[in-house]
Homo-oligomer: A and B are copies of this chain.
């Protein structure tokens, strides 16, 4: 049996990726010019498949970045003139604040305790805040902001732009794009692809904001200025030579997910999530780090261990199942396990059965 990766990202490849890589090599995808029709068709198919799979409205643009980190930088440069407001609920979500601060925006942050998420009443951006940033799934703690909170924010603050970090959450959680302005993700988590590619989805409010900033003489970037990216994307082109293989693979995996059906994928995620939750609940030495059930991510499970988490990690590794350590300060006191579309029911059943037998 080859090693199974339940790590929260990079993680196991989606089960069809290896075959798609072979086909890409056979077809010479890696040697094709990014200015030619073959590439344009790949980008177009990728954008279309993502739009179908994630129900992205037609007037949203699907742009190519190198990572979610890059999307953070591009969103601040293009969508914030002075003030931004960031919901921080762990290591990953709080980095957006850091990026805005690095770029010398007047950034403020609502920081909630690790393992919890901000509740609507706590979220109080000032009048001048132009952007609210939200991480759907904090991969560091396994906490998930209910989509309703985001939609209620839109109702409450219709004039502010809303940016959503979809890393490790999409395409599993169904998002109503009409209630957010931009969403970005990197592909090495729930899409199960090799790292090195980010997708940045924006609406025209973001583009208009960038145009306003540019008209005012603000720096909005260089090779990746939002209005130019959108203009190029309309021709299925990018400024730089992009990760062509990655875009091809994302397109194919999105197609495979469409063939399987997003409803079936979500049903499986729910089942696997339930048995993983149970495994944590029932083990005498494990506890959910996220105490509130409604805040627990379906896709990233974080358990506190009353022993050095290395022991469980090693025990599983000997059985060829890889799970993640806790993040940052929790490295030794927690484990993190992914429940992504590529993880089959059988694999997760084996994982939870094996965990049940573990004694520290």
Contact = CB atoms under 8 A, between A and B. Distances in A.
A240 B194 contact: no
Identical chains in the assembly: 2
Interface in A52-105: 66-70, 72-73, 76, 95, 98-99, 102-104
Residue with the highest number of chain B CB atoms closer than 10 Å, among A10, A28, A95, A219: A10
B28 A2 contact: yes
Contact of A243 (B196, B224, B225, B241): B196
B102 A219 contact: yes
Contacts of A99: 222-223
Contacts of A32: 10
A73 B222 contact: yes
Interface of A: 2-3, 5, 7, 9-13, 17-18, 21, 25, 28, 30-34, 66-70, 72-73, 76, 95, 98-99, 102-104, 186, 188, 194-197, 219, 221-225, 239-246, 322, 324
A240 B31 contact: no
A149 B222 CA distance: 29
A245 B196 contact: yes
B5 A70 contact: no
Given A10-B34, A66-B66, A102-B219, 8 more contacts: A2-B28, A5-B31, A18-B25, A73-B222, A194-B243, A196-B242, A196-B243, A196-B246
Nearest to A29: B194
Contacts of A95: 223
Residue with the highest number of chain B CB atoms closer than 10 Å, among A67, A95, A224, A324: A67
Nearest to A322: B31
Given A25-B21, A28-B3, A244-B196, A222 B186 contact: no
15 contacts: A3-B28, A10-B241, A11-B31, A30-B195, A31-B322, A34-B195, A70-B223, A73-B221, A102-B222, A188-B241, A195-B244, A195-B245, A196-B245, A197-B243, A243-B243
A223 B98 CA distance: 9
A102 B228 CA distance: 12
